[in-house]
Amino acid sequence: MGRHGVSATVRPRTVVIGMVAVVVVIAAAVGASLWLRSQHPGAVKLAGPQGDSPVSYAGIFPAIEDEPLANPLGIAYDGEHLYVAESDAGTIRVFDTNGGRVGAIRVPVAEGQRSAYPSSIAIAGERLAVVDNAGNRVILMERDALGDAALDVVLGEQGKAPEQPTAVAYAGGELFVADSADGAIKVYSEDGEHLRDLVSADASTAGFVTALAHAEGVLYAACSEAGTVLTFDMATDETDGYLSGE
């Protein structure tokens, strides 16, 4: 007796299973694509300059349909990513230059506090300098690791810490911290050691410093309350005077 031939007919059940498998694969691919689009840098496309002006409105991030930031107060750029202090959330949000979400860094909470409140931030080498107003401190933490940040250094922890820090800047291996408690700009090493104070003769009338910036050997301190900008020669620590809007 010869062998029975194998039927070339495909069973209906096999066809159904195959179709279901294809649908599942496609659904998974679409879901992964949507998830990656919302997480991958570059999800928000900003427009370039328009017309003859070198500066024009380019857009906003997060995208209008995304959840807004919780009270952003500070921003810094390391040449690749933008770091935004989301104060009410106690985090540093990380974006690419197109506004795409890269992730978030949770700022360590100071002892005795329920949450952190980051405001002014600055790139300090491979670390991020953060003014935490909830703990009245300035900290250094790693900026490459997303999630819970490891606390690296607390400025002035061994002595002469800022009492009410309002702004921070980094230049030449030193950290400059505006302290509204005494009107001084305190200078610290990368290890957190207090080095010296910069004090303007007119500090009492300048009000507290709300922002610090540096360029070409000059430190600029914006005093919003008084409507002035103090300048310091970073080589001599001497006050150069004021910038004015006149």
DSSP for 30-81, written as a single string = HHHHHHHHHHSTT-SPPP---TT-S------SS-TTSPPPSSEEEEEE-SSE
Instruction: Enter the tokens of residue 58.
Output: 């380019």
Q: Please, which residues have CB within 8 angstroms of residue 177's CB and are 6 or more apart in sequence?
A: 131, 138, 155, 162, 165, 167, 168, 185, 186, 187, 188
**Taking a C-beta distance cutoff of 8 angstroms, is the pair 141, 128 a contact?**
yes
Q: What is the pLDDT of residue 29?
A: 46
Q: What is the pLDDT of residue 36?
A: 41
Q: What is the pLDDT of residue 127?
A: 95
Q: Is-above-0.85 flag for pTM?
A: no
Q: What is the mean pLDDT of each run of 10 residues along the chain (246 residues)?
A: 48 56 51 45 68 80 86 95 96 91 93 95 96 97 88 92 96 94 92 89 62 91 83 82 59
Q: What is the pLDDT of residue 182?
A: 87
CA separation, residue 92 to residues 116, 145, 151, 200, 208 (Å): 11, 11, 14, 32, 24
DSSP 143: S
Instruction: Enter the tokens of residue 199.
Output: 């004090």
Whole-angstrom Cα Rg for the chain: 27
Q: What is the pLDDT of residue 13?
A: 57
